[in-house]
Amino acid sequence: MITQNELIHLKETARKIRHLIIDTTVKAGGAHVGGGLSMLDILVALYFKYMNIDPETPDNPDRDRFVLSKGHAAIGYIPTLAERGFFSKELLKTFNKFKSPFGMHPDSLKIKGCDASTGSLGHGLPQALGMALGAKIQGKSFRTYCIVGDGELHEGSNWEAAMTAAHYKTDNLTVFVDRNMQMIDGPVEKIMGIEPLADKWKAFGWDVKEIDGHDFSEIADAIEFAHGVKNKPVVIIARTVKGKGVDFMEDQTKWHYGAIDSEMQEKAHVSIDRM
Ligand SMILES: Cc1ncc(C[n+]2csc(CCOP(=O)(O)OP(=O)(O)O)c2C)c(N)n1
């Protein structure tokens, strides 16, 4: 459950970060902006309401963990960490520049608050599973969250991790599928279909929720549902829109990766403010 005030706060935070994503993409000369925007509301719910984290103690062994398995979407993740206070927003101006801590894909050795280096698709979920199993083995109560892309699910390593997670009853692991229906080279269902997606996860032994990934109340209910499930991992299939918030980017394959000039930048800001 989220209160009305929390809802207003989460929406406002997501709006601010969408603006940051646009300006950071302009400065960087290009980024995976479509997939950064599609998963953003999930990230905001995690980082601004649910995750037990503190930017002052980013290495606390008892903190909750997050793995961005679709690491190319760092352009959504890194501005979120900045807004949450892990580092200065000024530093975003260095995104993907020489000597910056921020490359196009996140590096946990360089970025405060980042728990896993990702970018090679299919590797993040197995890492998140390792963290969740580690918590169980150490008797710790922290939770691990992970976002995978729908196109990323073409990687077989995800399904090995899915099978293992269910076998070891990792009920401390919550995975989101950013089901924006698009990938790098076209619609996922056209490139290689993954439906019936919910049934696949169920067959692998997971509890499944399907939600609107831009509705904070639905995101909140799904996370709280996951917290209550015992002996099974939970996957939340979040229907999202690639490029969400920027009208000319929404659901457009070509905005998987793109550069933004000053005219587009202005239009993007106007569109975000109209959301
Ligand atoms: C192992 C691997 N193969 C290929 C790529 C290149 N690549 C980057 S993004 C992408 C498509 C991913 O699609 P999806 O997971 O749906 O991402 P989203 O649409 O949410 O951005 C691909 C194939 C990669 N990063 N890693």
DSSP string spanning 168-226?
TT-TTEEEEEEE-SEETTEEHHHHH---SHHHHHHHTT-EEEEEETT-HHHHHHHHHHH
- pLDDT value of position 60: 98
Ligand 1 atom nearest residue 154's Cα: 15
Residue 234: name the closest of 250, 222, 247, 220 by CA.
222
Structural contact between residues 229 and 170, judged by C-beta atoms closer than 8 angstroms: no
- CA-atom Rg of the chain in angstroms: 17
pLDDT value of position 152: 98
Structure confidence at residue 72 (pLDDT): 98
**CATH number of the structural domain spanning residue 213:** 3.40.50.970
Domain of 165, in residue numbers: 4-274
Choose which residue among 33, 75, 77, 184 to substitute to test ligand 1 binding: the one with the highest number of ligand atoms within 8 A of its C-beta: 184
pLDDT digits (tens, 9 = 90+) for 203-215: 999 999 999 999 9
pLDDT confidence of residue 248: 98
Q: What is the dihedral of CA 94, 99, 105, 108, to 10 degrees?
A: -110
* Cβ-based burial of 16 (10 A; exposed 0-12, middle 13-18, buried ≥19): middle
Find out whether the beta carbon of 150 lies less than 6 Å from any atom of ligand 1. yes
152 alpha carbon to ligand 1 midpoint, in Å? 6
Tokens 């401390």 -> residue: 172
**CA 154 to centroid of ligand 1, rounded, Å:** 9
CA distances from 193 to 49, 141, 181, 197 (A): 34, 36, 10, 9
Check: CB of residue 198 under 8 Å from CB of residue 146: no
Q: Are strands 173-179 and 182-183 parallel, antiparallel or unpaired?
A: unpaired
Would you state the pLDDT for residue 1? 87
Q: What is the pLDDT along the chain (275 residues), one digit of tens a residue?
A: 899 999 999 999 999 999 999 999 999 999 999 999 999 999 999 999 999 999 999 999 999 999 999 999 999 999 999 999 999 999 999 999 999 999 999 999 999 999 999 999 999 999 999 999 999 999 999 999 999 999 999 999 999 999 999 999 999 999 999 999 999 999 999 999 999 999 999 999 999 999 999 999 999 999 999 999 999 999 999 999 999 999 999 999 999 999 999 999 999 999 999 99
Are the C-beta atoms of residues 36 and 75 closer than 8 Å to each other?
A: yes
**CB-based contact 200:266 (threshold 8 Å):** no
| Atom number, ligand 1, closest to the C-alpha of residue 73 | 21
Number of domains in the chain: 1
Closest ligand 1 atom, residue 32 Cα? 21
Q: pTM of the predicted model, to two decimals? A: 0.99
- From 183, 239, 252, mutation site for ligand 1 pocket: most ligand atoms within 8 A of C-beta: 183
CA-CA distance, 245 to 38, in Å (whole number)?
9
Please give the C-alpha separations between residue 268 and each of 12, 182, 215, in angstroms, as whole numbers: 16, 20, 21
